[in-house]
Amino acid sequence: MAGSVDPDRSEWDVIVLGGAAAGENAAQYATQFSGLDAVLVEAELLGGECSYWACMPSKALLRPGDVLDSARHVPGVAPLVAGGTLDVPAVLAHRDTVVNHLDDTSQIRWALDTDIDVVRGYGRLAGERVVRVTGPDGGIRTLTARHAVVIDTGSSSAVPPIRGLAEARPWTSRDVTNLHEVPRRVVILGGGVVACESATWLRSLGVAELSLVLREEGLLPRSEPFAGRLVGDALTAAGVRLLPGRTITEVRRADPADTGTGIPHGGEVTCVLDDGTTLAADEIVVAAGRTPNTGDIGLSSVGRPDGGYLAVDNQQCVCAVPGRWLYAVGDVCGRALLTHMGKYQARVAGEVIAARAAGQHPDDGEDSPLNAAAGHRGAPQVTFTDPQVGSAGLTEREARAAGIDVETVTYDMAGLAGTYVMRDDYTGRALLVLDRATDTVVGATFVGPDIADLVHAATTAVVARIPVPVLWHVVPSYPTPSEVWLRLLETLRAQRTQARTA
């Protein structure tokens, strides 16, 4: 579907460069009650990476394996699924439905229904409040913003400079989320979130030989160490080979080919490891972090270096650009590479833009609704592995690095009535990180099946700085996994009593 606009129009109040979910939110929040108008400039598909090549397809691929595994551990249900495997074509067809068959018609319709215009093409800044767009036909349009430009150009898979790797045309997150053929043997480079989630669905879809090569000693290096251990134990039990403390030094593929997204990009791949051993596979997946899409968006035209993450203040205004007209939201800021955090930043940026356009000077005090510091204090994340890993706020390591007087408390998630009735093999653990000085929770991590929804309570506790004595009055329902909060408080009290009497 084409964009909406009069091809001769060249001026809007707000221009959003990059039409992912965060950019859509920035446009919506800037315009909805202000009388301002906005345009989204999008080079590929409105909705961005999350909708088509990241969160949504990955969760569609993970859910069937999760359900099957749960069923295998519920007495009375287990015999119904014994020996069963996933219907792979049906799983991939459902994934295609979830990504709208890579068609953004419904997103364009949402934008137009919300009175937000869309220009298709690749945009670059060309001076203060000016964006130059190269359209699909090669034509160039110059757009001017009366008030603000918001950058939401996102990030792409980083491909490390390993000899032969780029030439071998490895799968990136776009291929592994949009796979159309399941390779028999796969090597994954990386041990972070993309590596662990991809390993989980590839194994459930039937990859026979799956190896993870990670340079750290444990998986999920940004999480609490016990999270990586529990996910690693489960992957190993599922037959995945973990190669911790290893890197790939060279990749060889005789016949790399542009076969299309999610189809093996050629024949056999040979990976040479740093200990001299080799791994043969039908595909290699690079899951080695992200690179911000800032190398070719005209930053030098506004006095900023091309490339790298964009430093922003707590109202998402790009630092060191005079006049407070340039904002950035989402992965390009490098603050938290998560869809919900990008959208949160966008809500703040949009309202700040509307307020400033109305001649106001929006309060940027720490707990003001127009300051994004509070939300980042409790930033939540769920990694949809088996077991899931959910967290909010700081890890113990981060809290200590921030100079906090740290106290921790941990509890075995299997010791709860709510998890006991859930399945016959429940394994999990919870950890709270507390600030002794304020007696508040500054971080929390939960690991276990179906813990995703525990995280929001933790986010609330961290963001609202709820004191521990008040948390005693926040009563969890019985029998649910939320009872872990009560058990953590009881354990904390016992620890403190013991420390006083020791």
Ligand X SMILES: NC(=O)c1ccc[n+]([C@@H]2O[C@H](COP(=O)([O-])OP(=O)(O)OC[C@H]3O[C@@H](n4cnc5c(N)ncnc54)[C@H](O)[C@@H]3O)[C@@H](O)[C@H]2O)c1
Ligand Y SMILES: Cc1cc2nc3c(=O)[nH]c(=O)nc-3n(C[C@H](O)[C@H](O)[C@H](O)COP(=O)(O)OP(=O)(O)OC[C@H]3O[C@@H](n4cnc5c(N)ncnc54)[C@H](O)[C@@H]3O)c2cc1C
Residue 191 known to bind ligand: yes
Residues 441-470 that bind ligand X (CB under 6 A): none
- Alpha carbon distance 395, 187 (integer Å): 29
**By the 8 A CB rule, do 330 and 20 touch?**
yes
- Return the one option of ligand Y, ligand X, none that residue 20 interacts with (CB less than 5 to 8 A, by type): ligand Y
For position 186 contacting ligand Y by CB under 6 A, the verdict is no
18 vs 190, beta carbon nearer ligand X: 190
Element (H, E) at 201: helix 193-204
- Build a one-symbol-per-residue string for 254-273: x at contacts with ligand Y by CB under 6 A, - elsewhere: --------------------
Tokens (6 digits) for 54: 């990241």
Q: What is the CB-side half-sphere exposure of residue 8 using CA atoms within 13 A?
A: 0
What burial class does residue 137 get, using C-beta atoms within 10 Å of its C-beta: 0-12 exposed, 13-18 middle, 19+ buried? Answer: exposed
For position 441 contacting ligand Y by CB under 6 A, the verdict is no
Bridge-based pairing state of the strands 406-412 and 388-393? unpaired
For position 190 contacting ligand X by CB under 6 A, the verdict is yes
Residues 309-338 that bind ligand Y (CB under 6 A): 330-331, 337-338
Bridge-based pairing state of the strands 326-328 and 290-292? unpaired
Give CA separation, 52 vs 93, 120, 260, in Å: 14, 17, 15
Q: Which residues contact 166 (CB under 8 A, 6 or more apart)?
A: 159
- Return the one option of ligand Y, ligand X, none that residue 221 interacts with (CB less than 5 to 8 A, by type): ligand X
Which backbone phi and psi does 88 adopt, to 5 degrees? -60, -50
Residues 91-130 that bind ligand Y (CB under 6 A): 122-123
- Alpha carbon distance 317, 311 (integer Å): 8
Residue 389 known to bind ligand: no
Residue 197 known to bind ligand: yes
Residue nearest to ligand Y (CB): 154
177 vs 385, beta carbon nearer ligand Y: 177
- Return the one option of ligand X, ligand Y, none that residue 330 interacts with (CB less than 5 to 8 A, by type): ligand Y
For position 200 contacting ligand X by CB under 6 A, the verdict is no
Instruction: Collapse the DSSP code of 389 into the 3-class scheme (helix H, G, I; strand E, B; otherwise coil) and give the result.
Output: strand
To the nearest whole angstrom, how small is the minimum distance from the Cβ of residue 290 to ligand X? 5
Q: Which stretch binds ligand X (CB under 6 A): 11-19, 62-70, 213-221, 450-458?
A: 213-221
What burial class does residue 95 get, using C-beta atoms within 10 Å of its C-beta: 0-12 exposed, 13-18 middle, 19+ buried? Answer: buried
Residue 55 known to bind ligand: no
SS3 content of the chain, % helix, strand, coil (to 5): 35, 25, 40
Identified binder of ligand X from the candidate list 315, 383, 395, 482, rule CB under 6 A? 383
Residue 194 known to bind ligand: yes
For position 13 contacting ligand Y by CB under 6 A, the verdict is no
CA 326 to chain centroid, in Å, comes to 24
- Alpha carbon distance 121, 135 (integer Å): 4
- Return the one option of ligand X, ligand Y, none that residue 289 interacts with (CB less than 5 to 8 A, by type): ligand X
To the nearest whole angstrom, how small is the minimum distance from the Cβ of residue 361 to ligand Y? 27
Residue 302 known to bind ligand: no
CB neighbours of residue 500 within 10 Å: 7
- Alpha carbon distance 247, 388 (integer Å): 26
115 residue type, one letter: D
- Alpha carbon distance 99, 104 (integer Å): 9
Element (H, E) at 397: helix 396-401
Residues 343-382 that bind ligand X (CB under 6 A): 381-382
For position 49 contacting ligand Y by CB under 6 A, the verdict is yes
For position 118 contacting ligand X by CB under 6 A, the verdict is no
For position 288 contacting ligand X by CB under 6 A, the verdict is yes
298 vs 418, beta carbon nearer ligand Y: 298
Residue 35 known to bind ligand: no
Helix (H) and strand (E) counts for the chain? 16, 21
Identified binder of ligand Y from the candidate list 20, 354, 379, 422, rule CB under 6 A? 20
Residues 222-241 that bind ligand X (CB under 6 A): 222
Residue 123 known to bind ligand: yes
Binding residues for NAD(+), as ranges, are 190-197, 289
> Footprint of ligand X on this chain (CB under 6 A)?
160, 189-195, 197, 214-216, 221-222, 247, 287-290, 337-338, 381-384
- Per the annotation, binding residues are 59, 123, 153-155, 190-197, 289, 331
- Residues in contact with ligand Y by CB under 6 A are 17-22, 41-44, 48-50, 54-55, 58-59, 122-123, 152-155, 173, 177, 194, 293, 297, 330-331, 337-340, 342
